A = this chain, B = another copy of it.
């Protein structure tokens, strides 16, 4: 893949620069265990996902939306007989998530350091505004980025808008991310380049069943491998 024309390297944040999905799955496991006397854990997980999908157009992405959906699911599963302590615990799970530590994936700082000399680096991430800002601050890598875009969604039109904002043509833009659905396919669709670095956990909503192949796309195992493509 020839990245000669690229001048902006755009990174997804969650599960690309640092772990995020494990914190959601940990909270979900605690949530399902909490409701075990009402419903098998696997069924509770399905119910939670159903609530999340119903609420997505109204709540959007992020931990506050997830917390509200957990509470709503608990009320439904217990047929509105959930003890208040249970709701209290769920609120606590959400707060723990919002206070999660940020551990950068191995090689992230080196990669950003090397690329920042020759490219404009950008972050494009979904989620709660304040939460994503806080994570970036905690990460210690904010200074490498020319621009941080916190987006309510990552569809073709959202990337189109981002490129307009960055005054950048699609062939000058490469997106690095873990989600085929949110980071890779929409960027390929508008004519940009994409580097897919799968993470071992993927939220069901982001899962794409069919394999994706494209001449403007690379798949790598870890972020430190991207450097060789920018020589």
Residue positions of A touching B, CB distance < 8 A: 58-62, 64-65, 67-68, 71-72, 75, 78, 80-85, 87-88, 91, 94-95, 98-99, 128-131, 133, 150-152
**With A75-B84, A80-B84, A133-B152 as contacts: A59 and B64 at CB distance below 8 Å:** yes
Residues B78 and A91 in contact, CB atoms below 8 Å apart: no
Q: Is the interface of A mostly helix, strand, loop or mixed?
A: helix
Residues B59 and A88 in contact, CB atoms below 8 Å apart: no
Q: In the complex, A12→B94 CA distance in Å?
A: 30
Partner of A94, one of B61, B68, B75, B150: B68
**A8 to nearest B CB, angstroms?**
16
**A134 to nearest B CB, angstroms?**
9
Which chain B residues border A58 with CB–CB below 8 Å?
95, 98-99
Residues A84 and B81 in contact, CB atoms below 8 Å apart: yes
A-B contact pairs, 28 of them (CB 8 A): A58-B98, A58-B99, A59-B64, A60-B129, A60-B130, A60-B131, A61-B130, A64-B64, A64-B68, A67-B68, A68-B68, A72-B88, A75-B84, A75-B87, A75-B88, A75-B91, A78-B84, A80-B83, A80-B85, A80-B88, A81-B84, A84-B84, A128-B128, A128-B129, A129-B129, A129-B151, A129-B152, A130-B152
Which chain B residues border A91 with CB–CB below 8 Å?
68, 71-72, 75
Further contacts, 4 of them, CB under 8 A, given A129-B152, A130-B152: A75-B87, A82-B87, A87-B87, A129-B129
**A27 to nearest B CB, angstroms?**
14
Which chain B residues border A152 with CB–CB below 8 Å?
129-130, 133
Q: Closest residue of chain B to A69, judged by CB? A: B91
